[in-house]
Amino acid sequence: MKIAARNTTIEQPPVKPPLEGLRKVPFPFVLLILSGVVCVVVLVSVSFGSTPIPLGTIGQILLNGTGIFHFARRWDPTAELIIWQVRLPVVIGTALVGAALAVAGVLFQGMLRNPLADPYLIGTSSGAALGAAIAFVLPFDTVYGSFFSLTPLLAFVGAMLTVLLVYSIARSDGHTPVVTLLLAGVVINAVLIALQTLVLTLSPHAQFGLQALFNWLSGGVSVTSWPPIFVVGTIILVGIVFSLTLSSVLDAFALGEEGAAHLGLNVERRKLVIVVVGSLLTAAAVSISGLIGFVGLVTPHAMRLLLGPRHRLLLPSSALGGAIFLMLADLLARVVIAPAVLPVGIFTALVGAPFFLFLLRGSKRDYRW
Amino acid sequence: MVTTPPNKPIKRPFLAVDGVTFGYGREPLLYDVHLQVQQGEMIGLLGPNGSGKTTLLRLLSGVYRPQQGKILLEGHDLQQWNRQDIARHVAVVPQELHMPFAFTVAQMVSLGRTPFINFFGSPGKHDESIVMDALHAASIEPLAERIFNQLSGGERQRVMIAMALAQEPSLLLLDEPTSHLDIKFQVETLALVQRLNRERGVTVIAAMHDLNLAARYFPRLLLFQRGIVADAPPAEVLEQGVLRRVYGVNVQVGILRGAEHISVLPPGSEVASEVAEDQFREHGPQPVVHVMAGGGTGEMMMRALADAHIAFVAGALNIGDSDHTLALRLADEVITEQPYAPISLPILEEVRKSLATVKLLIICSMPIGPGNLALLQEAVASERHGLRVLLYHDTAIAERDYTGGEGQQLLEALLQAGAQSVASVGEAMDIVKQL
């Protein structure tokens, strides 16, 4: 009796997960490092392209742009034009899209407590795609008085409307059960994809529409001027900053809805806020990038593996990580068979998947749902 | 019988449940529950599966709102509290918890501070010291950096209690805290809860399945079956007859040699349980009256019978019927049917047996639906065999007959065969006392 009792009380030595060390790093430091990496990747991305521009020159051009520094212009004036008007908008746009998708991924995974959740899950992708398909078959390109071309505008509107539709379908008696939300999302996705096919089939410009839509669906930031970046960037930055205020809410959601309610949260209202913010981020991103997969799914997981599940750190680090990830994928898409540009979605999957699997296998014990 | 609450000096109760009725759909699950709890009490909530224990806890934690009645915490209606205020006073320990992410124990416990941190949510020094204190109180400091999902069930239970403790609650609700644990962890968990109750004055209400552990750790027990059947110290609540009526199984209650506390033992075998039943029937008073009621129509009659110490059988009644809850408390024998179900054949057989032994059948003015039509047919048959029948109506038959006249016909048949009609409980009691 005594022996048995003693046996059971022996403390098991704590199993140290291999990535434990990283979690101990104070988090301003982590964010500082990630921000540094973002800057480096921006510079590298800008330097690559049809005409390579040395990093030093880029640095000087960018610093001149701030108005504080005045480096002598010893470079080809077209380089300045290429950087400011062609490459930088694309790179900044890519970074914003990556950050938005990753943060939306964190929001949806946290709220749905589901590892397979990604930003497109509850209808944003099919809604945006239907919007884009309609834009491609319509005979005009821009809406009067707007610097936005029609495709991003309709994609954004389509995504938001779809999410609101899914949410209102799933809602009954003042509750929106997570399972119903997921199922409603799947069903509406199917319906909208059918509608999209129908639109393209019946359209007189079908041939042209299909090709354009294929390019759009494969994803890739294709902006040619700053105004769309400003608009989308504002939505995304506001969305990300607002998400940061939700970190303790998302932590509490890990306990389940009832557990979160016991910690004093108004669960239904918070769920709606998370859905709206997550969808705004996704729709804004999709409107300039088309459908880029994998970033929103994998970045949050990778960051959770490296830094732990607390959302106070996970949200900002995922934003930075998503930006880095998508810029690198975009860089590869541009240089691998330059001057041709491949769809960036290819590289998010081809580069992201092995990296993620490497992390996953390195911490098998640690990462269980 | 066991309804008197313990005598306490009269002061404003810490928690008061005042006539609460609640159901998930249209059908009520809890009916007219009254309860008063003083600060620092430790209460065990007992009852069969589906009796509404968990629902009561959810009402107390404010997750559900009563459809009728009020819950007063520290004198204020819980409906007027917002969720955050409730979370600063009431903490809930769930039955079991699985975390979707790899939270460490320290991170989990610090989640308990959620109701206290503000918008941008960075916990301060004060919060940290409370988390450390909670880890210490639950003796889980060595586990602080372990991953929650990798812990054993007993360790997890401690972490959940520590998390609740970080909320600095004045009321701690536990939903079957020991149901997934082995005996060692059951004892450790309840000892921890008891220590928190004694040392910190936390008021504890815990739903429990294990009657013995409940008797061991809780000075006050509530026996629950869609309403409060008994509310008293263990020795009164854990009484053979009450448990048999509520749980529908024969148990033996006693004090084991060398132990201080009451024990409840399950029946040994079918044969033994039948013997026990026979013994009980021989020892207990022989019921002389059978009451058919439902929907609250039997309340006055059953109270009058119990006050006059007349042993009676009630049934068949559906679980969840307010008459059923009352009958569990007052009657000597309750014939129980599942909630919202029509009276089944085996139950009808029990009614027939009972009618063969009693001297008088009182039929209250219950609503007559297709479900309980069979009861009246049974009554007609028994009357033919010489059973005396009283019809107590205070409502016209036509108003409560939902069978398209069939019920009315049966009642008329009863009257024609010699059943007496009474208009008041007093009149009925006069007849009962002459038996």
What pLDDT shows up at residue A282?
A: 93
Please check whether residue A37 is in contact with residue A306, taking contact to mean a CB–CB distance below 8 angstroms: no
What pLDDT shows up at residue A82?
A: 84
Q: Position of tokens 């007609």?
A: B380
Q: What is the number of other CB atoms lying within 10 angstroms of the CB of residue A137? A: 19
What pLDDT shows up at residue A91?
A: 92
Domains and CATH numbers, chain A: 117-291 (1.10.3470.10), 294-364 (no CATH)
What pLDDT shows up at residue B11?
A: 63
- CB–CB contact A366 B147 (8 Å): yes
- CB–CB contact A258 B103 (8 Å): no
What tokens appear for B90 in the block? 């009431």
pLDDT band at B119 (very low <50, low <70, confident <90, very high): low
- CB–CB contact B119 A245 (8 Å): yes
- Establish if B154 touches chain A: CB-CB under 8 angstroms: no
Of B92, B107, B120, the CB nearest to A262: B92
CATH 3.40.50.450 in chain B: give the residue spans.
285-433
Q: Which chain B residues contact residue A266 at CB under 8 A?
A: 82-83
Q: Which chain B residues contact residue A113 at CB under 8 A?
A: 100
Mutation for testing the A interface, residue in B97, B108, B114, B151 having most A CBs under 10 Å: B114
- Establish if A255 touches chain B: CB-CB under 8 angstroms: yes
Q: How, if at all, do strands B360-363 and B333-337 pair?
A: unpaired
Q: What percent of chain B has pLDDT over 70?
A: 91
| Environment class of A250 (CB within 10 Å of its CB; exposed 0-12, middle 13-18, buried 19+) | buried
Q: What is the number of other CB atoms lying within 10 angstroms of the CB of residue B423? A: 11
What pLDDT shows up at residue A353?
A: 82
Closest residue in A to B147 (Cα) is: A366
**Chain B (184-223) residues lying within 8 Å, Cβ to Cβ, of chain A:** 184
List beta partners, residue B262: B255
What is the nearest CA distance from A234 to chain B, expressed in angstroms?
21
Nearest of B413, B408, B424 to residue B367 by alpha carbon? B408
Write down the architecture of domain B285-433 according to CATH: 3-Layer(aba) Sandwich (3.40)
What pLDDT shows up at residue B91?
A: 95
| Mean pLDDT in residue range B102-114 | 91
| Mean pLDDT in residue range B222-249 | 85
Of B63, B115, B149, the CB nearest to A258: B63
Of A11, A254, A310, the CB nearest to B142: A11
Q: Which chain A residues contact residue B117 at CB under 8 A?
A: 248
Nearest of A48, A92, A15 to residue B102 by alpha carbon? A15
A35: amino acid identity, one letter: S
pLDDT band at B336 (very low <50, low <70, confident <90, very high): confident
- Establish if A173 touches chain B: CB-CB under 8 angstroms: no
Closest residue in B to A365 (Cα) is: B150
Of A17, A254, A310, the CB nearest to B99: A254
| Environment class of B179 (CB within 10 Å of its CB; exposed 0-12, middle 13-18, buried 19+) | middle
User: SS3 letters for chain B?
Assistant: CCCCCCCCCCCCCCEEEEEEEECCCCCCCEEEEEEEECCCCEEEEECCCCCCHHHHHHHHCCCCCCCEEEEEECCEEHHHCCHHHHHHHEEEECCCCCCCCCCEHHHHHHHCCHHHCCCCCCCCHHHHHHHHHHHHHCCCHHHCCCEHHHCCHHHHHHHHHHHHHHCCCCEEEEECCCCCCCHHHHHHHHHHHHHHHHHHCCEEEEECCCHHHHHHHCCEEEEECCCEEEEECHHHHCCHHHHHHHHCCCCEEEECCCCCCEEEECCCCHHHHHHHHHHHHHHCCCCCEEEECCCCCCHHHHHHHHHCCCCEEEEEEECCCHHHHHHHHHCCEEEEECCCCCCCHHHHHHHHHHHHHCCEEEECCCCECCCCHHHHHHHHHHHHCCCEEEEECCCCHHHHECCCCHHHHHHHHHHHCCCEEECCHHHHHHHHHCC
What is the nearest CA distance from B14 to chain A, expressed in angstroms?
19
What is the nearest CA distance from B265 to chain A, expressed in angstroms?
24
Closest residue in B to A263 (Cα) is: B87
From the DSSP assignment, how many helices (H) and strands (E) are in chain A?
A: 17, 0
Q: Which chain A residues contact residue B85 at CB under 8 A?
A: 264
Nearest of B378, B121, B324, B257 to residue A312 by alpha carbon? B121
**Chain A (307-346) residues lying within 8 Å, Cβ to Cβ, of chain B:** 308-310, 312
What pLDDT shows up at residue B2?
A: 44
Q: Which chain A residues contact residue B86 at CB under 8 A?
A: 264
What is the rounded distance in angstroms from the CA atom of residue A118 to the CA atom of residue A124? Answer: 10
ipTM: 0.79
- Establish if A262 touches chain B: CB-CB under 8 angstroms: yes
Closest residue in B to A242 (Cα) is: B120
Residue B279 has pLDDT above 50, yes or no: no
Q: Which chain B residues contact residue A28 at CB under 8 A?
A: none
Closest residue in A to B166 (Cα) is: A263
Buried b (16+ CB within 10 A) or exposed e, A118-136: bbbbbbbbbbbbbbbbbbb
CATH 3.40.50.300 in chain B: give the residue spans.
15-264
**Chain B (73-102) residues lying within 8 Å, Cβ to Cβ, of chain A:** 82-88, 90-92, 94, 97, 99-102
Please check whether residue B244 is in contact with residue B82, taking contact to mean a CB–CB distance below 8 angstroms: no
What pLDDT shows up at residue B10?
A: 53
Say which range, A144-153, B71-80, B96-105, B268-277, has the weakest mean pLDDT.
Answer: B268-277
Please check whether residue B30 is in contact with residue B50, taking contact to mean a CB–CB distance below 8 angstroms: no
What tokens appear for B245 in the block? 């009526």
Q: Which chain A residues contact residue B82 at CB under 8 A?
A: 266
DSSP for residue A12: P
Closest residue in A to B140 (Cα) is: A11
Of A259, A264, A368, the CB nearest to B115: A264
Per the model's pLDDT, the better-predicted residue between A248 and B404 turns out to be A248
Q: What is the CA radius of gyration of chain B?
A: 25
Q: What CATH topology corresponds to B15-264?
A: Rossmann fold (3.40.50)
Helix B153-166 and helix B183-200, axial crossing angle in degrees, nearest 10: 20
Average pLDDT of chain B is: 84
Q: Which chain A residues contact residue B150 at CB under 8 A?
A: 15, 365, 368
Of B103, B115, B150, the CB nearest to A263: B115
Please check whether residue A281 is in contact with residue A100, taking contact to mean a CB–CB distance below 8 angstroms: yes
Residue B284 has pLDDT above 60, yes or no: no
- CB–CB contact B120 A245 (8 Å): yes
pLDDT band at B72 (very low <50, low <70, confident <90, very high): very high
- CB–CB contact B83 A261 (8 Å): yes
Please report the number of interchain residue pairs, chain A to chain B, with beta-carbon separation below 8 angstroms. Answer: 86
Q: What is the number of other CB atoms lying within 10 angstroms of the CB of residue A12? A: 12
- CB–CB contact A248 B121 (8 Å): yes
Bond into B13 cis (ω within 30): no
| Mean pLDDT in residue range B178-197 | 90
- Establish if A7 touches chain B: CB-CB under 8 angstroms: no
**Helix (H/G/I), strand (E/B), else coil: A142:** strand
What is the nearest CA distance from A118 to chain B, expressed in angstroms?
15
- Establish if A367 touches chain B: CB-CB under 8 angstroms: yes
pLDDT along chain A (369 residues), means of 10: 40 43 67 93 86 82 79 80 87 94 94 84 87 79 59 88 92 83 90 88 69 76 83 94 92 92 91 93 89 88 88 94 93 81 82 78 56
| Mean pLDDT in residue range B138-160 | 90
